[in-house]
Structure 1
Amino acid sequence: MKPVIRHLESLDNPDIFDIYSYASVMEHTSQLQYLSTDAVASLFNSPQNYTLVAEHDSKVVGHVTVFQSIKVRTKHCASLAIAVHPEIHGKGIGKALMNAVIDQSDNWLNITRLELEVHEDNLGAISLYKRMGFEIEGTKRLSTFKSGKYIDTVIMSRINPSYQLGA
């Protein structure tokens, strides 16, 4: 499946809301279930954020958002959030979104460090991130309450390969 990757538009909000209406998606986020459409839209519609969507058959089936730092000394850093519609997991949408956002971050947004946090039990996501060049930096122990218990969160990052220390 080859999706069209493009920038988020306000008309995409219903499709983004649909993705986040699934418990199987929400369980891997830091948000509570049953968010309103306005709450979901507010997560990604900000001048400091850069959101790409994957469109297939005229429907948005995934997104990736770069949350750029507004702090002067950390403007070279950004964090990521990604979600793919659960009905099409494993079809290459996440990989296509990650490739696009890495290209944008490295070549257009002047981001040196991309970072993310992922629940330790989200093995598919961790595997994807490793394939995309992210490395595990550490673990935040018992950092998230999920399904009635505390779980660990894995911290991962990717440094732009063209960055040279001291250059």
Structure 2
Amino acid sequence: MNDQTLHSDPAVESRITIKALEQSDMASFAEIMSLPGVRRGTLSVGYRNAEKIAAWHERHLKGSVSVCAWLEGRMVGHAGLTVFRPCRAHSAELGLAVHDAYHGRGVGTALLRALTETADASLGLRRLELQVFTDNTPAIALYRKFGFVEEGVSRGYAMRDGILADALHMARLADAPSFLAI
């Protein structure tokens, strides 16, 4: 997400389709990750082609949840949950990117809703965490809307535009899932 005003268009949001990211989506995914706003607003290196994005996806998100948003016949966003292993198996790291031309139209909300519902209802995760640049106020507002809270700031966390930028660590804690007694 970039630094535009946070708002959502319910009419647009209702037309967004969320689906699992597939191998055939890698060119569209690479295009989104190379957009100027996505490069500046995420902790990701841009300018990767479809093959490099596919290799990254295979290494980092294998066995996790990776979804994309489609609107008007094009991919307009991607989000993923990377579930941690052994002693942190109750947790996952979240990443989100929205196409520069579709900010403020409900894409981030639709993606985040899909991931938080999956984390709660299918995976039984108790903790979702993320890092976001401290000046990315629209993204921070979106995460707060879904129950994420600030846990701390890392100064000089990542290189952005030739300078070291601070990142905010946020997390969302959920109660343990209930179980159905038979």
Q: TM-score, normalised by structure 1?
A: 0.91
* Structure 1 position 11 matched with structure 2 position 24: yes
Report the alpha carbon displacement of residue 81 of structure 1 after superposing the two structures with TM.
0.5
Letter in 1 for 2:63: Q
Whole-Å separation in 1 of the counterparts to 2:54 and 2:41: 18
In percent, how many aligned pairs have the same letter? 30
Choose from 29, 32, 49 the match for 2:64: 49
Whole-Å separation in 2 of the counterparts to 1:40 and 1:47: 13
- Give the secondary-structure state (helix, strand or coil) at the position aligned to 2:30: helix
Whole-Å separation in 2 of the counterparts to 1:133 and 1:11: 33
Q: TM-score, normalised by structure 2?
A: 0.84
Letter in 2 for 1:109: L
Contact 1:44/1:65 (8 A) holds in 2: no
Higher normalized contact order (CA 8 Å, seq sep 6+, divided by chain length): 2
User: Runs of 5+ in structure 2 lacking a partner?
Assistant: 1-11, 178-182
Q: Structure 1 residues 60 and 33 mapped into 2: Cα distance closer, same or farther (>3 Å)?
A: closer
Report the alpha carbon displacement of residue 34 of structure 1 after superposing the two structures with TM.
1.8
Whole-Å separation in 1 of the counterparts to 2:45 and 2:68: 22
CA deviations over 1:84-135 (Å, ceiling 9, x no partner)? 1111110001001101100000010121100000011111101100111100
* Structure 1 position 65 matched with structure 2 position 80: yes
* Structure 1 position 141 matched with structure 2 position 155: yes
Contact 1:64/1:80 (8 A) holds in 2: yes
RMSD: 1.5
